[in-house]
Amino acid sequence: MCLAVPGLVLSVAGDGLERTGVARFGQVEREVNLTFTPEAAVGDYVIVHVGCAISVIDQAEAERIFTLLQEAEVMTVDTVEKHLRETEK
């Protein structure tokens, strides 16, 4: 199963293929690749899959996704941390 989750962009660094940032996923903060989302800025929500931001979404959409994931009991701190650890391998 593939899982992409919304994260809040906290910082942005670099340009082009080296553009990265830090995003918050609940209580977890991780570095993400922002190459595919050059429009992403601090304060934006991005959808992240395997450490790469693949889309920018608005806050309302991010909150809707958080609610759906919580209702499905997919997104808990433990599952997000496990998913992020697996993508670091």
Convert the pLDDT of each residue in 31-69 to its tens digit. 999 999 999 999 999 999 999 999 999 999 999 988 887
Lowest mean pLDDT across 40-44, 72-76, 80-84: 72-76
In total, the chain counts a number of residues equal to: 89
Identify residue 72 by its one-letter amino acid code.
Answer: A
User: Which pLDDT belongs to residue 71?
Assistant: 79
CB 75 within 8 A of CB 27: no
CATH of the domain at 25: 2.30.30.140
Alpha carbon of residue 40 to chain centroid: 11
pLDDT category of residue 72 using cuts at 50, 70 and 90? confident
More confident: 75 or 85? 85
Question: How many domains does the structure of the chain reveal?
Answer: 1
Question: What phi and psi, each to the nearest 5 degrees, are found at residue 9?
Answer: -75, 120
Q: How many Cβ atoms are within 10 Å of 41's Cβ, its own excluded?
A: 13
Residue 6 has pLDDT above 90, yes or no: yes
CB 25 within 8 A of CB 77: no
pLDDT category of residue 77 using cuts at 50, 70 and 90? low
| Strands annotated E in 14-87 | 20-25, 28-33, 45-49, 52-57
Q: Note down the domain range covering 60.
A: 5-87
